[in-house]
Amino acid sequence: MKIAIAQINSVVGDIKGNCEKIIRYGFKAKKKNADIVIFPELALSGYPPEDLLLKRHFSDCNKEFLLKIAKACKGIMLIAGFVEKNGGVLYNSCAVIHDGKIVDVYRKIKLPNYGVFDEKRYFSSGDVLPIYILGVFSFGLSICEDIWQGDFFNSVWRKKLDFIFNISASPFHLGKIAQRENIISVLAKKTKSFVLYCNMVGGQDEIVFDGTSSIFSPQGKLLARAKRFQEDLLVFDLAAEHEPIKKEPVEPAREAFEALRLGLSDYVSKNNFKKVVVGLSGGIDSAVVISLAAFALGRENVHALIMPSVYTSKSTFEDAKKICDNLGVSFDIVGIDSVLSSYSKDLKVCLKEIKRTKTEENLQARIRGNILMAFSNTYGHLVLNTGNKSEVSCGYCTLYGDMVGGFGILKDVPKTLVYDIASYINDIVPGTIPFSVIRRPPSAELRPNQKDSDSLPEYDLLDPVLKLYIEDDYSLAEIIKKGYKKNLVKKVISMVDANEYKRRQGPLGIKITSRAFGKDRRMPITNKFMQ
C-alpha cells in the first residue's frame, strides 16, 4: 500500500485554481504508483474561507468542482477537504473519491472556536466516524481539531485500524510544529495505528501554514516528514521498512524567518502585487524587513526610500545605504527637513511653537508616511510597515506615520526576536545587515540623542512581561510573582491597555506567536477593567 500526502498551497476562493492543482497532484501521485493521495483540510476552497461561506453559491461552487476532480482522477483513491452543503447546513468535510466517484463524505466533528478559528460561526458538527476498507487494510478519517481532543479516538474507535488519516489546516506559531508532532505521536501509540498527517502550506492574510506533514508509526515514532514552508508530495510505502527520523530542534529565529518569508511572498502574490517599498531608516527593524522582502520577492522587486532629517545621525544614514548595496535593492533619498519646516511655519497660525515637542516628532513620522504612500500611489508598490510587536504593544508608534503600510511583517515579532532574525539573516548571507546596525541602541531619531529606552523599558525586560500579559493572559499580581518589579509591570500593562485603539487602525501582519493581535486577541477599546 503506497500513500501520497499532497501538501499543497491553496488560495482562498480560487476554487477553479485549487481544483486544477488537486487534479495535477493526483496525477503526480498516480505516476508514483500511489494507491491513495490525501489533501489538506478545505483544500478545494482554501482555509479559512470566513464569510465567503455565507454566500449560498460558494458551497455550490465547491460541489461543482469536486465532481470535476472525481471525474478526472480515476485509478487512485483521492481524499480532499471541501465545503459541503447538505439540507441547507454547512459542514467542513472530507470527500472520499474512488474510481471516479464520490463514495463517501466525512464531516469534521470537533469544530475549533478559539484563537484564529471561528468554525462554529459557519459549520455544523458531524457525528459519524466510519471505518473504511481498501483491500486488506482498514483506515479512518479525521480533520484537524478532531485529533487534538485527547479521548476522541478511544471513545469512538474500538477496532484496530491499520492507519488513520488526518487532513489539516493548522496555522503556524513558534513551537507549534513540536507540539503538533507530540499530539500525533500520542495518537499513534494510543490507537496502535500508522497516522498520516497532511497539513496545508502557505500564507493567508495574517496566517501562515507551515506544512510539515508527517507520518508516525504505531509505536509513535516519526517515520517521514514533508518539507517545511513549501509545497511537497510525500509518498510512503506501508509495507517497506522505515527507520525513525530524529526530531532535531529548529532555532526560533530560523522558524520565524521562514514563516515571515512565506507569509510575505504569498500575501504579495495572492493579492496581485508585484513590488514593495520600505521606509529604510538604518535601524534594525527596517533592515530586517527589507532583507526579508529581498529574500521573499527578489531584490528586483524591492525598493527603499531613505528619508533623513536633521535628527538622523550620519551613521544610520550611511548604514541605510549600505544595507541597500548589500542586498542589491534600488533606493531613493528623500529628505524631509524642508517639508517639516513648511509644516512648522504654516501651523503657527493655530499652534504654539512645536519645535522639539511630541507634535514635531509625530509630524516627522507622518511626513515619511505620506512620502511612502505617495510612492505607492504612483508606482503601485505595496508599502511594508516596519513596526515590531514590542512597539505596537506599547503604542510606541504614530498613527498615520510609522504605522502606515499595507502589510506589517514584524507586527507579531518581539524586538528581541528581531535581533535574532537579523543574526540569522547574516548567517545565511554574511554581512547583509551591518554589525553597527545590530549593536546601535535603538532610536526613532525624532529628536537629539533619542533612545527607545527613554520611553520604554529595556527590551530584555519588556518582552518577557509583554509575553506573560498578552500571550499567557497573566494578571498584574501573577507577573509580579514571576519576579518583575511592580512599577515596571504596571507601566507595561497600562501602555498595552491604553493603545488598543492604535492597534485597531494599524495594518495586518503575520502571526508567528501563540497569540497575535487581531483575531487571536480581541480586546475592547473602551475598557475600564482594572488588572
The b-or-e profile of 223-254 (16+ CB within 10 A means b, else e) is bbbbebbebbbbbbebeeeeeeeeeeeeeebe
Relative orientation angle of helices 459-466 and 415-428, to the nearest 10 degrees = 110
Q: How many residues can be counted in the chain?
A: 531
Rounded Cα gap, residues 225 and 46, in angstroms: 22
Based on the residue annotation, tell me whether 350 is a catalytic residue of this protein. Answer: no
Pairing of strands 214-216, 77-86: unpaired
Residue type for position 385: N
Rounded Cα gap, residues 509 and 279, in angstroms: 17
What are 488's three cell numbers?
Answer: 515596571
Residues near 57 by beta carbon (within 8 Å), at least 6 away in sequence? none
Catalytic residue among 144, 198, 324, 397: 144
Residues near 441 by beta carbon (within 8 Å), at least 6 away in sequence? 451, 452, 453
Based on the residue annotation, tell me whether 108 is a catalytic residue of this protein. Answer: yes
Count CB neighbours of 420 within 10 A: 18
Catalytic residue among 108, 322, 389, 511: 108
Relative orientation angle of helices 486-498 and 459-466, to the nearest 10 degrees = 70
Catalytic residue among 19, 21, 41, 415: 41
Residues near 153 by beta carbon (within 8 Å), at least 6 away in sequence? 140, 142, 147, 164, 187, 190, 191
Residues with a catalytic annotation lie at: 41, 108, 144
